[in-house]
Structures are given as C-alpha cells and as structure tokens.
Amino acid sequence: MTTNFVNYILMAVGILTIMAAIIVIFLDKLKGDDMYFNIDVKEQEIKKVIEDAEEILSELNFTSDVIVKEIEEKINNLNRIYKSVNNSMAQQYARAAAVEQQMPQQTVAQQSSQVAVEKTTVPVKFKPMTIDPTKKLAQSEEKQKSKQEVIYELADQGMSIVNIAKKMNMGQGEVSLILSLKNEEK
C-alpha cells in the first residue's frame, strides 16, 4: 500500500507538473502573440509615416515647381518690359535725330539750345536680368583694390593698425595682413 500511495503521489505531482507546463506554455504563447501583434502595429505605424512623408515630398515638389514657373514668368515679363523700354527709347532718339536734321537753318540759336538738350538725352539701354559671376568678381576685386589702396594711404600717413581698422570697419588682423602683403611686395 505504501508503494501504491507513493505511486499516486508521484502521479499527482506529474499531473501537476504537466498542468503547470501547459499553463506556462499557454502564457508564453500569449506573450509571443502579443509581441508579434506589437510588431505588426509598429510596422503599420512606420508604413503610415512613410506614406505621410512621401505625400509631403510630393506637395513640396509641386510647390517648388509652381514657384519656379512664377519666377520664370516674372523674369520673362521684366525682359519684355526692358525690350519695350529700349525700343521706345530708340524710337525717341531716332525722332530727335530726325527733327534735328529737319530744322530750318533760320533758328540757329534755338536749334543749338534744343540740340544741346536733345543730345544730352542719350537713349538708355536696359539689359535683361542676368547675373554674370565674372562681373561680380571684377567689381568685388575693384572694391577690394580700392580698400587696399585706402589702407596703404592711411598707413603711409602714419595711422596705427587699430585706427585704420576702426576707420575702415575691418578687423585689425585683416588690416595687418593687407599691410604685411604690401611690405612683402616691396
């Protein structure tokens, strides 16, 4: 009887162990499903964010295209205006020249004063808007040269680097560099 009793106890412990294992497996399965559910939710959220970003990019591309077209239209309109101004100025100059040639010789004093006035009205030629980087570079070099020349003159007058920098609204290091370059040239 004791062996049967021990067998029943071992069998009860085995059944409890199997039931505990089944519960643990079931709970683990629920956690795993929950984990996969969270991954699916995150994946959907990421897809939504990507779709929103693509939509925003397409809107930005459309907006930039519209802005570029508007700018091109405005530049074309300005170029047309410049051309019409140039044409009208050329026509006025041509009329003034024709009037000057047709004036009678009798009114020489009046003619000379009118001719002087008419000759001073030289037609102005407007150019379409363009940006020439070489011209900008040349202009900045001219300004730079004139700035350097002014610094040289001030230094020749005996002004200190600090005072030159204040007067030219420049840094002291820049002024001293320009002056040292002048000394190296000599």
Domain containing 172 equals: 131-186
Q: What is the pLDDT of residue 181?
A: 81
Is 138 part of any domain?
Answer: yes
Q: What is the pLDDT of residue 157?
A: 93
Q: What is the pLDDT of residue 129?
A: 55
Q: Report the number of distinct structural domains present in the chain.
A: 1
Task: Work out the pLDDT band at 15, boundaries 50, 70, 90.
Answer: very high
Is 141 part of any domain?
Answer: yes
Is 160 part of any domain?
Answer: yes
Q: What is the pLDDT of residues 39-64, one digit of tens each?
A: 778 888 888 988 888 888 888 888 88
Reported pTM: 0.33
Residues 68 and 70: their CA atoms lie apart, in Å, by 5
Q: Is the pLDDT of residue 16 over 90?
A: yes
Is 55 part of any domain?
Answer: no
Q: What is the pLDDT of residues 160-174, one digit of tens each?
A: 999 998 988 888 888
